[in-house]
Homo-oligomer: A and B are copies of this chain.
C-alpha cells in the first residue's frame, strides 16, 4: 500500500485558476475534498467552473452538481469569460446535474446519506474525475436530518478517496468570524475575502488549510479577468 500512497502524494490536480497552483505546490491532491468559501459575488462558482475546464482540457470528465441555479443560467453567466465552457458542455466533458430540479420534482426532503449517494451514483454514471458541489449550504437547508452532517460528510469523503475523485465543495459564508465543521473535515480550505478600503472593493484569496501540501497561506490579491478569477503573487495592497 504505502508505496502507492507515497507516489500519490506526488501527483497533482491542477486547479485551473491562474496563479493558484504555485501557492499549493502544483495543485490539489487527487481523491480529496476541498472547501471553497466566501461572501456573495466573490467568485466561488467561477472558480468551480475553471476547475472543471482544466480537467476537460485533459479529457477528464467534470461534474457540476447544482443545488440551486439552473445549469442553463450558470452556463449563460459564464459566457462573459473566455473559457470555452460551451464547447466542453457540448462534448460532454463537463456535465451539469440539476439537483435542485430533481428535488423540486420529488417534492420531499432527503437525508444526508441519500443526497451524497445520489451524487456518488451520478459520479459513477458519467465517470467524473472532478466534481463541484454548489453549495454545501444549500444542501444543509434541504436535508431532513441536519444532525447527521458530520458523519455523512465523513462517509462521503471516504468514498471519494476510493473513487479517486477530487471535489470542490462550495460553501456560502454566513459569519466571517467563525469556523464551521466542514473547515476541519475538508483536506483544504480556500477562503475568498472582500473588503472595502476607502470605499473601494478589494478581493483576496487565502489558502487557510491544505493538508499534505506545503502551501503559502498569505493573502493574495485576486481579480476577475476575462479568463475568470486570477490570483496574483502579491498582497491585496
Contact = CB atoms under 8 A, between A and B. Distances in A.
B174 A179 contact: yes
So how many copies of this chain end up in the complex? 6
Contacts of A208: 39-41
Interface centre among A45, A138, A217 (most CB of B within 10 A): A217
Interface stretch (A54-62, A118-126, A150-158): A150-158
B185 A179 contact: no
A14 to B, nearest CB: 18
B185 A235 contact: no
Nearest to A153: B68
B198 A235 contact: yes
18 contacts: A29-B76, A40-B208, A41-B207, A70-B157, A77-B187, A78-B212, A100-B158, A104-B154, A137-B181, A137-B184, A138-B184, A142-B151, A174-B178, A174-B179, A175-B177, A200-B218, A200-B235, A201-B219
A92 interface: no
Contacts of A219: 196, 199-201
Interface in A91-105: 100-101, 103-104
Interface string A157-199: 1100100000000001111011101011101110000101011
A236 B199 contact: yes
